[in-house]
Each structure stands twice: as structure tokens, then as C-alpha cells.
Chain A
Amino acid sequence: MRIKVYGARGSVPAPGPEMNRYGGNTSCVELTLAGGEQIILDAGTGIRTLGLGITASPHVNILLTHLHLDHIQGLMFFPPCFRADADITIWGPASPEASLEDRVARYISAPLSPVEVRELPCDVSFRDTPPSEWQLGSATIRCEAVNHRGPTLGFRITDGDTTVCYIPDHEPALGTVLAETEPEWISGYDLAKDADLLIHDCQYVDDEYPFHVGWGHSAMTDALSFGSRVGARRLLLFHHDPLHADGFLDDLHAAARRRWGELGGDPAVVEMAMEGARSRSAPPPLRRASPRRHKYPPDLPDRSFSGTRAAPFDTRYKHVAEILDGGPGTWAASALNFPVRFG
């Protein structure tokens, strides 16, 4: 399987000379399977460039993780959409609210767009992702809901003996501490387990995260902790914040490699997604992270934002026992005075 990144930016396109190396286009990754078939992961603005390179009569499968604008904005500018010989299947999360086509059409319709979905000359179909595995070409695809705002999927794509996991928007540490959480309670764990390549959200550095808790994205330490817990062989940090210029991302990369080493892994397996970068998913003969990585709970350094962590059990709840002896009513009334905490 070959992988090429066409857009690694999160939230909104971020063009500009200070973004040239990592790129300013939003999420889009091309997978070329061993049999030559093509799968496109998300349709951020990077898909426009990808489409320009498609010359033969195309049959394209696009897997959408969710319908936030940075993951669909490029659809309207995807050249095969305007070719009558193109056959495009768009897969995305189901919703009880409306069909996938109707939800995408909210963007590809007036007043946001000069064209409507029904006017596209290509043969386009919209499919809800199935709850069980399915085949696209030689690949087996599996998806699961993951923790982000709104219905959002992660994808696990296996082609031959190679597995790529793509979770570009993910906040698995929301309300929990990954290093101390059992695998069955970690969002996306099964999906990413033992992947040869994990493409994962790393929108924030740790110092930024406290200002964005609940926004659906990961801090660097959490992205690495997740990658370590699932045993990813290679980790591609993705969905760069639009404020993060090239130099900042270089520093983030260096910090991420150091931290991965602290987790017991080989720092060289941590990469930053960069527009135009190509990779083969079959990893080089790198050593996997040491068994210590799987120690439960692992020896993790404290996060720089550990101030949000919960207080110890006995100090947090000793007054619950006191209230229990106080009679009806006092418990609930006092509970209102508890501070809201995020673990």
C-alpha cells in the first residue's frame, strides 16, 4: 500500500509562505492499494490537487470520517466530479437526521455553491458506512465511531498484511487519562490496535490543550499516548492547527520524538504529516516500542496540563459519607456545591 498526503491541516486551510513545507490544505490522504485501486481518505481542500492528477477514466472511493467543512470542502473542486466518465462513491457516517447525500448537499448547494449535487456530470453515489467490515478492491475496511464532536468515524484499512488506521479528528483523552485507562474504555483502541501506520490527530501542543478541551482534538502527549497504547508501528501526526507554522511544527516534531522515546519507542517512527509526502505503509525494519510500553499503567511523565486531573479519592468524596449521615435532602443540596472536574 502506498500513501500520499494531499492535505494535513486541520480546521481551515492555512496558506502562506510560513506554511509551505507542511502545507495549508485540509485533510486528504490517498491510499493506493497493492492491486492499484485508489482510496481517498477525506475530501478537504487537498483533494483538489489529488484530482488534478487523475487522468484515466476514474473509479474513486472517498471515505469521509465526518462532515465538518475541513473534511469535505474540496469535494466541489475535485476535478473528477465534473467528468462524465467518472464513477465516484462517497462513504460516510450514517445519521438519523438525514441521508449522507442530503447532508453533503447542504454544502454543495445554494447559497454556498454555484452547483448542486444533481448537476454534477459524474456518476456519484453516497453510501452509509456499514457496521461490519467491507471490501474495496483488495482492501478490507472497518470503521468505528470515535470521540469527536458530532458523528465521526475512524477507518482501519487492511491490504494484504498491511494495516493503516486513519483517525484524523479524535480526542480519546477527554474525561480520562489514557495512561491509566483500560483498553476497552479507550475510544478507537480496537480500530488502531497494532496498525502498521497510525495517522492520528495531533492538533495541539500540550500547553494549548487546556483551552480546547472538548473540541474533539488531541494534544501531542495524548496522541502519543494513544499511539503507544495501541502499539502502532509508525505514527503520522496529522491535522495540524492552522496557527502552527513550519518552524513550530518542526519543534513539535522534535518534542514528539523525544516523548515517544520516553514511552519506550523508537523516536524515528514518529513523523509529521506533510503535504506531498509519500510513504509505503510497510514499515522499515525498525524496532517496535519495548514491552515496557504495554505496562499497565505505563510509566508516563505527567502532562504539563495535569492541573485538570482529578483529586485523590479520599479528599474528593469524604464529605459524601458525612452527608449520608445528615438525612434526606442534604446530600443533593450539597452536591450542587461540588466543583466540576475533568479527569
Chain B
Amino acid sequence: MPAQKPLELILARNLLTSISTPAFLVDQDASLVFYNEAAGALLGRSFEDVGRMSPEEWTSTYGPFDANGKPVDLDELPTTRAVRDGRPAHAAFTIRAANGTREIESSAFPIVASEEGSSGAMIFFWPQGGDGQEGG
């Protein structure tokens, strides 16, 4: 049985379950441990269908890709930056869903509960260009 998640990840998952903004939850290793139903609708697959994935697994499944169609380096993803640096990060890119590609923006927020560093991050997805923001 997997080790119990820290309370802050449990509460984060409960929050994501209750909102309609598509969102991922990753642990301290940047492994995908949950995404909500809105994200499932966006990707065309529910989390229950795919389960936990390592960073390499979920990037190979969903991308993302930059404007030129090249895979975004794992170290440059908002998710990785948020977990690694303990700082929020934002970027625009293309992801691969079950029924085609989607242009999205992604905002990652680290979850920090102790001085030992972040225990994970929440990543929210938005349609590109909704409010004139530039990707970065």
C-alpha cells in the first residue's frame, strides 16, 4: 500500500476535487498523484483510468510542447520549478489530450508545510490568451 500522503496534500486533493478549474496535484518528487474531474474532461481520461505517474510518464503522455512543437524540458515546466524552487511558476504551452491538442496556460503553486521544503504543488490550467497574459 502506498505511504500515506502528508495532510497538506490530502487537503489539497480535497480542494481540487471540489473545484471546476482543471488542476493537477503532484508530490515532492513531481509525480502526478491526482487530477480532478475538470482536468479529466480536458484530457479525455479520468485520473482513475491512468493512476499515479512519474514526471517522465505524465510528460510523455500529455506533453507539453512549445509553440514550435518541441517537448518542453522537464526542468523548465512550472510544476518542476514550483516543487524545486518553492516558488510559483507559469507558462503557456500545448498539451496532448485524448481527442487532440489543447493550447493552455499553466500556473503551479508549491505546497510548503515545513522548513524541509515543498511537499508538492497544485497546477491549474487555463485556456491560452483568456486575459491577454503572455506565456513564460
Listed in ascending order, the chain A residues whose CB lies under 8 Å from chain B are 96, 144-147, 174-176, 182-187, 189-190, 310, 313, 316-318, 320-321, 324, 327-332, 335, 338, 340-343
> Counting chain A CB atoms within 10 Å of each CB, which of B4, B6, B17, B129 scores highest?
B4
Which listed segment binds A: B35-43, B65-73, B81-89?
B35-43
The one of B1, B14, B42, B126 that contacts A183, using a Cβ cutoff of 8 Å: B1
Q: Known interface pairs A147-B11, A184-B5. Does A332 touch B18 (Cβ–Cβ under 8 Å)?
A: no
Listed in ascending order, the chain B residues whose CB lies under 8 Å from chain A are 1-7, 10-11, 13-15, 17-22, 37-38, 40-42, 46, 102, 113, 115, 126-131
Contact A320 B41, beta carbon cutoff 8 Å: yes
Contact A174 B14, beta carbon cutoff 8 Å: yes
Contact A144 B18, beta carbon cutoff 8 Å: no
Chain B residues with Cβ below 8 Å from A330 are 127
Compute how far the CA of A187 lies from the CA of B14 in the bound complex, rounded to whole angstroms.
11
Q: Which 5 A-B pairs have the closest CB atoms?
A: A175-B14, A338-B20, A317-B41, A320-B41, A190-B4
Chain B residues with Cβ below 8 Å from A182 are 2
Chain A residues with Cβ below 8 Å from B13 are 176, 185
Contact B4 A189, beta carbon cutoff 8 Å: yes
Contact B40 A343, beta carbon cutoff 8 Å: no
Contact B130 A184, beta carbon cutoff 8 Å: no
Chain A residues with Cβ below 8 Å from B2 are 182, 184
Contact B127 A340, beta carbon cutoff 8 Å: no
Contact A343 B20, beta carbon cutoff 8 Å: no
Chain B residues with Cβ below 8 Å from A190 are 3-4
A-B contacts, 15 listed (Cβ < 8 Å): A145-B6, A145-B7, A175-B14, A175-B17, A176-B13, A184-B3, A187-B7, A310-B17, A310-B18, A317-B20, A320-B22, A320-B41, A328-B128, A332-B127, A332-B130
Chain B residues with Cβ below 8 Å from A175 are 11, 14-15, 17-18
Chain A residues with Cβ below 8 Å from B6 are 145
Contact A186 B20, beta carbon cutoff 8 Å: no
The one of A146, A329, A341 that contacts B7, using a Cβ cutoff of 8 Å: A146
A-B interface pairs (CB < 8 A), number: 87
Contact B14 A176, beta carbon cutoff 8 Å: yes
Contact A185 B127, beta carbon cutoff 8 Å: no
Chain A residues with Cβ below 8 Å from B18 are 175, 310, 340-343
Q: Known interface pairs A144-B7, A175-B18, A324-B102. Does A332 touch B131 (Cβ–Cβ under 8 Å)?
A: yes
Compute how far the CA of A209 lies from the CA of B59 in the bound complex, rounded to whole angstroms.
41
Compute how far the CA of A183 lies from the CA of B1 in the bound complex, rounded to whole angstroms.
8
Chain A residues with Cβ below 8 Å from B11 are 147, 174-175
> Counting chain B CB atoms within 10 Å of each CB, which of A96, A187, A318 scores highest?
A187
Chain B residues with Cβ below 8 Å from A185 are 5, 10, 13
Compute how far the CA of A189 lies from the CA of B131 in the bound complex, rounded to whole angstroms.
42
Compute how far the CA of A4 lies from the CA of B19 in the bound complex, rounded to whole angstroms.
44
Q: How far is the CB of B85 from chain A (nearest CB, A)?
A: 19
| Nearest CB in chain B to that of A191: its residue | B4
Q: Known interface pairs A184-B4, A189-B4. Does A328 touch B130 (Cβ–Cβ under 8 Å)?
A: yes
Compute how far the CA of A343 lies from the CA of B41 in the bound complex, rounded to whole angstroms.
18
Chain B residues with Cβ below 8 Å from A340 are 18-19
Compute how far the CA of A321 lies from the CA of B7 in the bound complex, rounded to whole angstroms.
32
Chain A residues with Cβ below 8 Å from B130 are 328-329, 331-332
| Nearest CB in chain B to that of A190: its residue | B4
Q: How far is the CB of B34 from chain A (nearest CB, A)?
A: 8
Q: How far is the CB of B105 from chain A (nearest CB, A)?
A: 10
| Nearest CB in chain A to that of B22: its residue | A320
The one of B1, B4, B10, B129 that contacts A328, using a Cβ cutoff of 8 Å: B129
Compute how far the CA of A341 lies from the CA of B102 in the bound complex, rounded to whole angstroms.
27
Q: Known interface pairs A185-B10, A343-B17. Does A331 touch B126 (Cβ–Cβ under 8 Å)?
A: yes
Contact A147 B10, beta carbon cutoff 8 Å: yes
Chain B residues with Cβ below 8 Å from A332 are 126-127, 130-131
Chain B residues with Cβ below 8 Å from A174 are 11, 14
Compute how far the CA of A340 lies from the CA of B131 in the bound complex, rounded to whole angstroms.
23
The one of A146, A147, A316, A324 that contacts B42, using a Cβ cutoff of 8 Å: A324
Chain B residues with Cβ below 8 Å from A328 are 127-130
Compute how far the CA of A341 lies from the CA of B11 in the bound complex, rounded to whole angstroms.
15
